[in-house]
Each structure stands twice: as structure tokens, then as C-alpha cells.
Amino acid sequence: MRWRWLWALAGLVGGWAFLGWHPPRVTVAAGRPLVVLDPGHGGIDPGAVGAGGVLEKTVNWEVTVAAARVLGRRGVAVVLTRQGDTTAAPGPYLVVRDLRYRAFLARHRGATLLVSIHSNAEPSGRAVGPIVYYYAPSLASRALADALTAPLTAVTGIYHAPRPARHLVLVEAGVPAVTVELGFLTAAADRARLTSPTWQARLGAAVAQGILRYLAERGG
Ligand SMILES: [Zn+2]
């Protein structure tokens, strides 16, 4: 995904337009963490499209739900930025507006952290493996990226160091936030994993494990 132009456009689109919008409540006990999971794309925005018509939005959703289940079993409160195969923001769809809403949700709720879940694509078809992107000015974002990279490396056997990025959702979240690119839909080996229910569950469990590791490290 090319995010730079989205970031540049962000200032032109009303980021405060959601202030009158109150998303559904999730009760969180005082002092307990609240995790916002953001399955990338959705609805009329499919994200990347892999060979055979594999849609990124579907992979992202399945892995997010798997991660949410694991966190839920561990007693961690989770909010998803979309509730199914839809875009995230209420009202008419605009890509920047939809991204800003995802960040708004984390900020508005005072979330402990946000993890945006995506699947990658690139033209050569050679790149493989998960990559976690963090927002460089935030040390907590970097720590979260490190915590997520370890279990994703363990489960896939492929290591990429976390990379800094200025993804709009990360910039605007106002809480520790990272983007997880689960793998490359353009590489056959990754695509086979990303579309397998067994692997989707494994990747979701790895994301949850990374989040739990981060929460444990920060004492929550
Ligand atoms: Zn994406």
C-alpha cells in the first residue's frame, strides 16, 4: 500500500467529524487494558488482491477474529474497528475518512494500544514473511512492534526487523499503535498460509501472543 499520499491528504478531510459519533461501548474494568484490533480494508475496499482472487480484506478479518478470540479467552477487552465485511467509518465511504475513523476509535476510547492488521503485496512476487511497522516517534509503538515480531517470526520462520512508517492510522491513533503486514499475497508460499484457516488461526494466535507479551512488559 502507498500511504504517503493518504497522509498528505489527511489534513484536508475533516478528522474531527466523528466527535458526534459514539461507537458501541465495551465495559473495561479500571486499570485493565483495552485492545483495539483493526482489520484493514473491508466492504467496498478489498485491499490487495492476490492470485485466484484472494482478497486482503478477508484474510485480515479472519486473522483479526482469531486474535480477538485468543485475547478474549485471556480476559482482555477487545474492540474491532469494523464488525464484518464493511468499511469502518459510519456514513459515506472515503478512504482517508475511513482510516481516520479507525484511529479516532482508539483515541476516543483511550485504548491501551491499536494493532492494524493487513496483508502485503509487491510486484516481483519474491518478497515473503510478516513485517511489523511502527510509528518512530513513539517508543511504545516500537516496543509493541518488537513484541509482535517475535511470535510472528516463530510461527512463520521468517524474520524481518520492524520498520518505521507514517501510516495515517498510526500517526493519528494517539496510543501505541502498529501495522502488522501478515505476509505477501503476491508470493505463493505466503498466499497458501494466508488463505488457510489453520494458518489464519496460527497467525491470529501469534498476534495475540505479541500483544499479551507487550501488556505483560508494561505491567498490565
Ligand atoms: Zn492493506
Whole-number pLDDT of residue 210: 98
The alpha carbon of 179 and the centre of ligand 1 are apart by a number of angstroms equal to: 9
Q: Domain 31-217 maps to which CATH number in 3.40.50.300, 1.10.3300.10, 3.40.630.40, 3.90.1300.10? A: 3.40.630.40
93-124 residue pLDDT tens: 999 999 999 999 999 999 999 999 999 999 99
Ligand 1 centroid from CA 115, angstroms: 13
HEC letters along 71-139: HHHCCCEEEECCCCCCCCCCCCCCHHHHHHHHHHHHHHHCCCEEEEEEEECCCCCCCCCCEEEECCCCH
Whether residue 216 contacts residue 29, with contact meaning beta carbons closer than 8 Å, is answered with no
pTM of the model: 0.90
Residue-wise DSSP of 52-71: GGEEHHHHHHHHHHHHHHHH
Phi-psi region of 167 (alpha: psi -120 to 50; beta: other; left: phi over 0): beta
Domain ranges of the chain: 31-217
95 CA → ligand 1 middle, Å? 12
Query: Which amino acid would we find at residue 47?
Result: G
pLDDT, one tens digit per residue, over 169-188 is: 999 999 999 999 999 999 99
